Structure 1
Amino acid sequence: MKYHFITIEGNIGAGKTTLAHLLSKKLNARLILEEFADNPFLPRFYENPKQYAFPLELFFMAERFKQLKEMLHTNDLFQTVTVSDYLFTKCLLFAKVNLPEEEFRLYQKLFDIIHQQLIFPDILIYLHSPVNKLQANIKKRNRGYEQHIPDEYLINIQETYTSYIKQKNIKTIIVDASNADFLSNDLHVQVILDALEKDYDEGQHLITLP
């Protein structure tokens, strides 16, 4: 495996965690999954975004930092590859969407202090799905607090991600996940595995699923 730290990103409902599980099994990799269920502010945020956005994002940043710091600085002789279903910069991207300008500036100062202590992934896999596919996946997984996410919010998140990836010129495999079914279609997972066998320059590299 050419890449020792692989991160999967994408919008809400894009299939990040499913793909991370499958890749970790195929690659015998250490798996880092976002512990979103532990955030007590998440259900409240969807009910009252203005009131709970700042504590929501602070909690996420603290928990993600703690988890990545512990996992990425622990050597494992039997697992040389790590797969994560989130990028730490996700903190900043969601905060940019969710916070008013003054709160975002404060949040960004805190982010800038701590993110330098973390290892950046060798490659990013970004799952790009249309909003109707995202909404279908969200309804299918049936988390109560997610069931009324507006299309506009998902579009805003998508645009924030793609803008960041292009601006930073990150080494990224962008997967057209319009028809993705990683659980039921082994070929879709194999396409990702084959892509990870290649060398890439910095920038975006698009692949489609059969």
Structure 2
Amino acid sequence: MNHSFITIEGNIGAGKTTLSHLLSKHYNTRLILEEFADNPFLPKFYENPGQYAFPLELFFMAERFKQLKELLQQKDMFQQITISDYLFTKCLLFAKVNLPDDEFRLYQRLFDIIHQQLIKPDILVYLHAPVKKLQANIKKRNRSYEQNIPDEYLFNIQETYTNYIKQQNITTIFVDASNADFLGNPQHLQVITEALERDYEDGQHYVTLP
């Protein structure tokens, strides 16, 4: 495989972390997982988005930057590939949905300053699942603060992601994850590994799971 830095992305509940774990084990890679549970503003945000959106997004940006900066600078002679279950640009995408215009403009200025210091992934795997599937996965993993996320919020996040991907020149494997079961169906993981082992031009490339 020609990719040394692979990022898995998708909406809340799309299966990013599960797929990242499986791919990391398959390829024996370094694994970078988002430490979202450490964000003290997350439960408060779901209770009162207007009050806690800005500190929530600032905390996420600072922690993601610190984690990626430290880990991507370290060389590992035994593990040449790195897989991450988040794209740093998700900071900006979630902020666009969660913040009012004046706060978003300030946030974007800070984002632009630090984003350029990070290595960009060679390829992005984006898991696209309908909101009904996302809600089922959210219920199944049973994090208390996620249980009342509105469908409209998930739809807005989905639209923001897909619009961003289409506007950018990132090499992206766009996966229809409507029926994804990476843990229970080995064929689904195989489709992803086979897709990652192909060569791609810039832009979006679409994959459907059997």
- TM-score of the aligned structures, taking structure 2 as reference length: 0.99
Q: Give the residue type in structure 2 aligned to 1:165.
A: I
State how many pairs are aligned. Answer: 210
Q: Which residue of 2 is the match for residue 21 of structure 1?
A: 21
CA RMSD of aligned residues (A): 0.4
Q: Which residue of 1 is the match for residue 95 of structure 2?
A: 95
**Deviations 1:67-99, CA, capped at 9 Å, x for gaps:** 000000000000000000000000000000000
Q: Give the residue type in structure 2 aligned to 1:144.
A: S
**Deviations 1:11-36, CA, capped at 9 Å, x for gaps:** 00000000000000000000000000
- Paired with 1:137 and 1:120, the residues of 2 have a C-alpha distance of 29
- Paired with 2:128 and 2:163, the residues of 1 have a C-alpha distance of 13
- Paired with 1:192 and 1:168, the residues of 2 have a C-alpha distance of 22
- TM-score of the aligned structures, taking structure 1 as reference length: 0.99
Identity %: 80
Written as runs of structure 1 = structure 2, the 5 A alignment for 1:5-154 is 5-154=5-154
**Deviations 1:95-150, CA, capped at 9 Å, x for gaps:** 00000000000000000000100000000000000000000000000000000000
Q: Give the residue type in structure 2 aligned to 1:194.
A: E
3-state DSSP class of the match of 1:21? helix
**Deviations 1:24-57, CA, capped at 9 Å, x for gaps:** 0000000000000000000000000000000000
3-state DSSP class of the match of 1:34? coil
3-state DSSP class of the match of 1:179? coil
Q: Give the residue type in structure 2 aligned to 1:65.
A: F
Q: Which residue of 2 is the match for residue 155 of structure 1?
A: 155
| Matching of residue 203 in structure 1 with residue 203 in structure 2 | yes
**Deviations 1:126-182, CA, capped at 9 Å, x for gaps:** 000000000000000000000000000000000000000000121100000000000
Q: Which residue of 1 is the match for residue 178 of structure 2?
A: 178
3-state DSSP class of the match of 1:175? strand
State the shift of 1:6 in Å: 0.2
3-state DSSP class of the match of 2:63? helix
3-state DSSP class of the match of 2:116? helix
Q: Which residue of 2 is the match for residue 187 of structure 1?
A: 187
- Paired with 2:86 and 2:134, the residues of 1 have a C-alpha distance of 17
Q: Hey, which bits of structure 1, 4+ residues long, moved more than 4 A?
A: none
State the shift of 1:66 in Å: 0.1
Q: Give the residue type in structure 2 aligned to 1:195.
A: A
- Paired with 1:26 and 1:80, the residues of 2 have a C-alpha distance of 13
Q: Give the residue type in structure 2 aligned to 1:96.
A: K
3-state DSSP class of the match of 2:60? helix
